[in-house]
């Protein structure tokens, strides 16, 4: 009965992950609390994930990635794309994937994508090549590059820690390299020669205003002669409170014709002023303005009508570690912080209408901003946003770049040689980067994706609950898998594990998939009297083969809206890639990690 209860919990979690009923970290919290309340695991076991070496190592890698970005190491790698990519689509695609792959081998995937995202638009413009045909390769390349080292992606670390907890030697730093290089090579060649043709190039709107469809919910109104607003400042008029309208721009008639400008709260309204406003206009329509404002029906909006006078439009993407995640535009006080107006919000290719300023922001959301060049530059330099049509970024501490690179190399070498455990090497590197100023202490906590950390730490008790000291569900499932497929040999069993991992990682975090399946993979290997290394390697590779949906990994989410993709675009491009990687993995893994009987190990 315990087996079925635990399976029910696993299936429930999978469904919640798939349909996004709750945030993944909250689902993981529910899993741990269920195990605690049912007495399946002890309190110490339920929260042991927060002290797990794999979790500590992932935290260290987030911070070290921030150090590499802040000191300019990542930017120098980004310049490789411009130098070696050229204008040929094949070399350009290969340059993008190999560059992001190298970065992802030693820093978190989403950080590598975020650093290169603005560069892609500049490179695409120079090469006169559609940026959309480089963004999916950028995301896929980050996932494939992470497969080449132990620290490249959390599933690699989690599979290694699962081996250690089962009494085996864990994977070392470059144990993933032979398999990872083959898989990375297959993926890069496929995208450069075949896959890029499956990426649709949709006709772009002639302007940002049309692309965001802001004419659908921006309105121009005029201040009549007898309006009680004449002579009042915008602060005194209190239009957001009284009418639910925000004034974005004022057109005032003068001696030289209409003069457009961005108003301030102290701007006083005059009779005949035409105001571009955002908000609900139902009240104006029903009351015919009530003499306060009248709708100027002839207005049609374009980029030119919202710019001019040193004002420009720009697109900004909400960054992975943005402080605005989960907060709305209003709560983030963007107008006060950056002196910009947010004209529109797009999420996953769809422009949100209505009171979009009250919608909590997510990674990859795109904002259409209006402001002067200096204000847009401030947004581009902020760690909260990635401005796709500018290469501005936060100031880099380039004098410390050699030091940050040396510290990172030292951590990799000490972990690769076995001199220090990877978790100790990572935390020592964090300390060195902090005391040398490569990372600021106040930034260390911000660089960590805490939702990912909590997700991993809170899913780990599930693997504890499945072991033989608790419910034995892992061994029970393994016995059934071996009974169904074991007669066909270990390669078929490994292939089945690979395919199942690939399937569930499309609807849940790849880290959570590794946590769930690593103990099952070990139990299957032991049930077949084989060493578990090839099975765990297959699970690690499959957990990062997230190519069929844009929601399987944050790297995909980040390029989803920016590239104006549709949901099925990823499946169209990724299906054949998944098949090729499956074939490559099934050929290479048994060669590098042969099926060795336990008795001879």
Mind giving me the DSSP string for 208-228? HHHHTTGGGTEEEEE--TT-T
Count the residues in the chain.
Answer: 601
Distance CA 571, CA 406 (A): 40
Looking at the whole model, is its pTM more than 0.85? Answer: no
Which pLDDT value is given to residue 169? Answer: 92
Measured CA to CA in angstroms, residue 111 lies from 91, 203, 439 at distances of 23, 29, 15
Q: In sequence order, what DSSP letters do the residues of 325-344 get, joined into one string?
A: BTS-HHHHTHHHHHS-EEEE
More confident residue, 295 or 320: 320
- What is the number of helices (H) and of strands (E) in the chain? 28, 10
First vs last Cα of the chain: how many Å apart?
35
- What's the pLDDT tens digit per position in 123-142? 888 888 888 899 999 999 99
Q: Which positions ≥6 away from 133 have C-beta within 8 Å? A: 89, 93, 196, 199, 201
- What's the pLDDT tens digit per position in 196-250? 999 988 666 555 666 666 655 567 788 888 888 888 888 888 777 777 777 877 8
Which pLDDT value is given to residue 516? Answer: 87
Most trustworthy range by pLDDT among 24-28, 303-307, 553-557? 24-28
Distance CA 301, CA 319 (A): 29
Query: What is the C-alpha radius of gyration for the chain, rounded to an integer number of angstroms?
Result: 27
Q: How many CB atoms lie within 10 A of CB 429?
A: 26
* Beta pairing class for 218-222 and 294-295: antiparallel
Tokens of 299: 């207005």
Can you tell me which residue has the tokens 């399937």?
Answer: 503
Q: Which positions ≥6 away from 119 have C-beta within 8 Å? A: 78, 81, 82, 391
Band (79; pLDDT cuts 50, 70, 90): confident
Measured CA to CA in angstroms, residue 167 lies from 163, 356, 526 at distances of 6, 53, 12
Measured CA to CA in angstroms, residue 40 lies from 1, 44, 465 at distances of 13, 12, 6
Measured CA to CA in angstroms, residue 233 lies from 93, 335, 408 at distances of 54, 18, 56
Which pLDDT value is given to residue 403? Answer: 93
Q: Are 21 and 419 in contact (CB under 8 A)?
A: no
Tokens of 585: 């993995």
Is residue 529 classed as helix, strand or coil in its secondary structure? Answer: coil
Please identify, in words, the CATH class of the domain defined by 208-301.
Answer: alpha beta
295: part of which helix (H) or strand (E)?
strand 294-295
Is residue 172 classed as helix, strand or coil in its secondary structure? Answer: coil
- What's the pLDDT tens digit per position in 43-71? 999 999 999 999 999 999 989 988 888 88
pLDDT at 150 over 80: yes
Whose CA is closest to 214, among 330, 307, 118, 326? 307
Q: How many CB atoms lie within 10 A of CB 397?
A: 17
Backbone angles phi, psi at 372, to 5 degrees: -75, 170
Name which of 173-187, 282-296, 389-403, 501-515 the model is least confident about.
282-296
- What's the pLDDT tens digit per position in 350-373? 777 666 778 888 888 888 887 777
Band (600; pLDDT cuts 50, 70, 90): low
Q: Are 321 and 115 in contact (CB under 8 A)?
A: no
Distance CA 248, CA 340 (A): 10
Is residue 318 classed as helix, strand or coil in its secondary structure? Answer: strand
Distance CA 226, CA 271 (A): 8
- What's the pLDDT tens digit per position in 417-463? 889 999 999 999 999 999 999 988 888 888 888 888 998 999 889 88
Which pLDDT value is given to residue 304? Answer: 58
DSSP 598: G
- What's the pLDDT tens digit per position in 541-585? 999 988 988 877 788 888 887 787 888 889 999 999 999 999 999
Can you tell me which residue has the tokens 């306060």?
Answer: 292
- What's the pLDDT tens digit per position in 320-333? 878 888 888 877 77
User: Which CATH superfamily does the domain covering 311-387 fall into?
Assistant: Regulator of K+ conductance, C-terminal domain (3.30.70.1450)
pLDDT at 393 over 70: no
Q: Where in the chain is the domain with CATH 3.30.70.1450?
A: 208-301, 311-387
DSSP alpha helix (H) spans, 466-509:
473-485, 490-504
Share of the chain above pLDDT 70, in %: 88
Which pLDDT value is given to residue 289? Answer: 47
Across residues 518-525, what is the average pLDDT? 91
Distance CA 559, CA 117 (A): 8
Distance CA 14, CA 17 (A): 5
Distance CA 475, CA 30 (A): 24
360: part of which helix (H) or strand (E)?
none
């Amino acid at each position: 009965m315990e087996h079925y209860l635990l399976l029910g919990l696993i299936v429930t979690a999978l469904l919640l992950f798939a349909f996004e009923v709750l945030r993944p970290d909250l689902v993981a919290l529910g899993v741990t609390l269920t195990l605690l309340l049912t007495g399946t695991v002890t309190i110490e076991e339920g929260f042991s994930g927060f002290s797990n070496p794999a979790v500590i190592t992932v935290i260290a890698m987030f911070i070290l990635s921030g150090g590499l970005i802040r000191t300019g190491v990542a930017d120098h790698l980004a310049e490789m794309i411009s130098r070696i990519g050229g204008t040929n689509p094949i070399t350009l695609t290969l340059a993008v994937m190999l560059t992001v792959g190298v970065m992802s081998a030693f820093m978190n995937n989403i950080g590598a994508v975020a650093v290169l995202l603005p560069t892609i638009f500049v490179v695409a413009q120079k090469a006169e090549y559609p940026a959309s045909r480089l963004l999916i390769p950028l995301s896929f390349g980050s996932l494939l590059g992470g497969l080449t080292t132990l620290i490249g992606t959390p599933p690699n670390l989690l599979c290694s820690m699962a081996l250690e907890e089962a009494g085996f030697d864990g994977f070392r730093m470059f144990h993933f390299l032979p398999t990872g290089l083959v898989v990375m090579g297959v993926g890069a060649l496929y995208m450069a020669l075949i896959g890029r043709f499956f990426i649709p190039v949709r006709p772009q709107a002639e302007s940002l205003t049309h692309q965001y469809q802001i004419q659908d919910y921006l309105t121009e109104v005029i201040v009549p002669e007898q309006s009680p607003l004449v002579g009042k400042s915008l602060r005194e008029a209190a239009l957001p409170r009284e009418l639910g309208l925000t004034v974005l721009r004022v057109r005032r008639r003068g001696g030289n014709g209409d003069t457009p400008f961005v108003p301030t709260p102290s701007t006083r309204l005059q009779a005949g002023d035409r105001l571009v406003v955002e908000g609900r206009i139902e009240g104006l329509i029903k009351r015919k303005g009530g003499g306060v404002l009248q709708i100027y029906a002839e207005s049609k909006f374009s980029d030119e009508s919202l710019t001019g006078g040193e004002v420009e439009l720009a697109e900004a993407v909400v960054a992975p570690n943005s402080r605005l995640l989960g907060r709305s535009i209003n709560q983030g006080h963007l107008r006060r912080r950056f002196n910009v107006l947010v004209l529109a919000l797009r999420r996953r290719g769809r422009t949100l209408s209505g009171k979009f300023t009250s919608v909590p922001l997510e990674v990859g959301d795109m904002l259409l901003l209006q402001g002067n060049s200096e204000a847009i530059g401030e947004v581009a330099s902020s760690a909260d946003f990635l401005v796709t049509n500018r290469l501005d970024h936060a100031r880099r501490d380039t004098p410390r770049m050699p030091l940050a690179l040396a510290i990172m190399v030292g951590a990799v070498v000490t972990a690769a040689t076995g001199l220090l455990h990877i978790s100790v090497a990572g935390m020592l590197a964090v300390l060195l980067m902090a005391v040398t100023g490569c990372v600021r202490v106040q930034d260390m906590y911000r660089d960590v994706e805490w939702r990912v950390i909590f997700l991993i730490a809170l899913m780990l008790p599930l693997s504890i609950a499945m072991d033989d000291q608790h419910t034995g569900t892992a061994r029970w499932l393994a016995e059934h898998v071996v009974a169904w497929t074991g007669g066909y040999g270990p390669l078929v069993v490994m292939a089945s594990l690979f395919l199942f991992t690939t399937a569930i990682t499309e609807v849940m975090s790849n880290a959570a998939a590794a946590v769930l399946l690593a103990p099952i993979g070990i139990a299957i290997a032991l049930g077949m009297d084989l060493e578990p290394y090839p099975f765990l390697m297959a699970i690690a590779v499959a957990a990062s083969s997230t190519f069929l949906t844009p929601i399987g990994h944050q790297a995909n989410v980040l390029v989803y809206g920016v590239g104006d993709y549709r949901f099925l675009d990823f499946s169209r491009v990724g299906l054949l890639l998944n098949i090729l990687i499956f074939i490559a993995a099934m050929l290479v893994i048994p060669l590098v990690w042969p099926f060795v009987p336990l008795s001879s190990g």
